[in-house]
Amino acid sequence: MSVEVITLGCRLNMYESEVIRAKAREAGLENAVIVNTCAVTSEAVRQARQQIRRSRKENPGARIIVTGCAAQTETETFAQMPEVDQVLGNNDKLEARAYAFDVPTERVRVNDIMSVRETASHLIAGFEGKARAFVQVQNGCDHRCTFCIIPYGRGPSRSVPAGAVVDDVRRLVDQGVREVVLTGVDITAYGADLPGAPKLGRLVEQILTLVPGLARLRLSSLDVAECDERLIDLAVHEPRVMPHLHLSLQAGHDMILKRMKRRHTTAQAVAFCERLRALRPEIVFGADLIAGFPTESDEMFETTLGHVRDCGLTYLHVFPFSARERTPAARMPQLPGNVIKERAARLRAAGAEALTLHLASLKGREIELLVEQDLIARSPTYAPVKLSRAHGNGALVRALIVSADARFAYAEAA
């Protein structure tokens, strides 16, 4: 049996799973299942355990390897599972030697992630069958938001040198990839650890200049407090930078932002969205929002709901607050579970409403779409569009949007 890599969590994990696949192949690993886990919420860790049990049941003779942020932050939890043969840390998982032997020489290989200072670039062999490829530009985080476990799973912020990123993008474009998503943990911190401290805007500029064949560049989560002027300039004036920015807002009330140790205010977030929209009217924004952060009152929550409207957000990633061990927020007075659930549902409903409005606004427009899978494509604003006939995955097609509902815009190929 070959090697199956199961990815849980974020785009960075998806990128790293491609690296893991290549390293396992290089090491000659066979008959194994590698579960690349996430630790962002306790629910994510529960899903990791569930997936491991399922993989063992479905593959009784295979080697079960657990890695990713949950393996890094809760090593013992997984080392004690009878279903698990090996536990690898977030840095160890990217080395071929971790997969080298039929029987692992070390059952647990989890090094001190806080001691990692460099992020090597891995020239991945593309994303099998996918129209879009994720390219890692940064890893780790130097911030300490009070709710977040990620720095303990990913270590300090470290950047991939620009030359290596450009090589990665060029290689993917040469293989026919039309859209690249720059990913990391805190990409707006890009470059702070590199000579001359280049900013993310400078990196984007280099990619666009040195890889003229790249059709679409998309950015993953941005911290509005850390976006540099060159980045903003390219986001509003460069047609190849997709008019869709995902913001790590987390809340819409200043006192809650303060208790989260975030670096922006609600006024700054609203001003950021208004400024970019004034310069590029078709731009849309997504955001991460936490529902039910400790001490959040009804009034504070209503303000966060209003913030969705004030920023004109279109895509909401809603996270019901989940207390993570070792984080300051876990020691704050917690809200009842039903209140957290109810607020998450209201935020999701506001997100669904905003998406419906955006999809409807595309009607009558001819748009260039990237075909993802069969009849499903994405607009530059990341809107899901259903096509009237199939095109090859990865094709860029112009189409007229003729109708829309709550889930899709519907297009007829021009």
Q: Which residues bind ligand SF4 (CB under 6 A)?
A: 141, 143-145, 148, 150-151, 185-186, 248
Listed in order, strand segments (DSSP E) in 295-354 are: 313-320
> Would you say 99 or 147 has its CB closer to ligand SF4?
147
- CA distance linking residue 274 with residue 351, whole number of Å: 19
Distances (CA, A) of 258 to 35, 250, 252, 306, 334: 35, 11, 11, 18, 17
Structure-token pair, residue 259: 């208790």
> Would you say 276 or 329 has its CB closer to ligand SF4?
329
- Least Cβ distance, residue 354 to ligand SF4 (angstroms): 22
> Would you say 14 or 383 has its CB closer to ligand SF4?
14
- Least Cβ distance, residue 263 to ligand SF4 (angstroms): 8
Residue 7 φ/ψ region, left for φ over 0, alpha for ψ in the -120 to 50 degree band, beta for the rest: beta
- Least Cβ distance, residue 42 to ligand SF4 (angstroms): 16
Tell me phi and psi for residue 350, to 5 degrees.
-65, -35
> Would you say 202 or 264 has its CB closer to ligand SF4?
264
Report the candidate in 3, 298, 321 with the shortest Cα–Cα distance to residue 145.
Answer: 321
- Least Cβ distance, residue 283 to ligand SF4 (angstroms): 22
- CA distance linking residue 256 with residue 144, whole number of Å: 15
> Would you say 151 or 394 has its CB closer to ligand SF4?
151
> Would you say 12 or 383 has its CB closer to ligand SF4?
12
Distances (CA, A) of 70 to 16, 51, 184, 217: 15, 13, 17, 30
> Would you say 9 or 151 has its CB closer to ligand SF4?
151
* Burial (Cβ within 10 Å: 0-12, 13-18, ≥19) of residue 34: buried
Residue 307 Cα to chain centre, angstroms: 22
Tell me phi and psi for residue 375, to 5 degrees.
-95, 0
- Least Cβ distance, residue 225 to ligand SF4 (angstroms): 10
Count of CB atoms situated within 10 Å of the CB of 345:
13
- Least Cβ distance, residue 50 to ligand SF4 (angstroms): 24
